[in-house]
Amino acid sequence: MDKAFVEQMKRKVENELREREIQATEYWLSELIKVYEKRHQQMADLQVDLQNLVAKMRTRLKTLKKGAD
C-alpha cells in the first residue's frame, strides 16, 4: 500500500472520530444545561432530573456497547 494513502486514511478516520466526539459532547452538554437552567424549587426536583439524565446516559452507553459486540 502507498504510505501517503495510509496516512491520508488515518487522518480521515481521526478527524471523523474527533467530529463524532464533539457532537456527542455537545449533545450531553446541552442536556446538562437544560437541567441546570430549570431553576428547581426543591432539591428533590433537581435529583429527579439528574437521575433521568444519568438513566439516559446509561441507556445510550448500553446501546453503544451492544452494537460493538
Cell triple for residue 4? Answer: 501517503
Question: Within 10 A of 46 (CB to CB), how many other CB atoms are there?
Answer: 15
Whole-structure pTM value: 0.76
pLDDT band of 68, cuts 50, 70, 90: confident
Which pLDDT score is estimated for 4? 92
Which pLDDT score is estimated for 50? 96
Q: Alpha helices of the chain — where are they, by DSSP H?
A: 3-37, 43-68
Which pLDDT score is estimated for 43? 95
- 9-50 tens-digit pLDDT: 999 999 999 999 999 999 999 999 999 999 999 999 999 999
- On whether the CB atoms of residues 48 and 35 are closer than 8 A, the answer is no
Residue 69 has pLDDT above 90, yes or no: no
